[in-house]
Amino acid sequence: MTPQNIVIGGLAGAMPPLLGWTAVTGQVEGHALLLVLIIFAWTPPHFWALAIHRKEEYAKAGIPMLPVTHGNKYTELHILLYTLMLLAVSLLPFVTGMSGVIYLVGALALGLRFLQYAVRLLRGDDRRVALNTFKYSITYLMALFVVLLVDHFVFF
């Protein structure tokens, strides 16, 4: 998967929340776009962590994933940078009034844990850490949206 494919895949993967929101409300709203932005920012660190773990397989298949084309350290740095961006983006639902304190606490806890994985990955260059980062990224996204739902039903 090339960086362009990740961007396109990230947009495609982010569409269900936007489509669902639009189907329920009948309009595209800024809060729905925040959900798209969260998934969009989440996609690169998610896929690149897996790409580090499977680097040899991607190289053998001739698939130009970032670790294959630019190396693990470069990829790990970009995982860290995108994770920082994701942490900031994930706070926007609270900042814009879309969610409350429950979401804020959950987003911070989940995001800081993701950041911890990204830092460990950058420091250690270990394929197991890459796989664990990938696995956590799946848990992160699911838990973030669960916290958003819980916050919504508690405060609204």
Rg from Cα positions in the chain:
16
* pLDDT for the residue numbered 103: 97
Question: The whole model's pTM is what?
Answer: 0.85
Tally Cβ neighbours within 10 Å of residue 30.
Answer: 10
Phi/psi of residue 120, nearest 5 degrees: -60, -40
Give the other-Cβ count within 10 Å of 43's Cβ: 23
Per-residue pLDDT at 15 exceeds 80? no
CA dihedral 129, 131, 136, 141 (to 10 degrees): 130
Q: Is the dihedral of CA 111, 116, 122, 127 positive or negative?
A: negative
pLDDT at 7 over 50: no
Q: What mean pLDDT do residues 70-74 have? A: 95
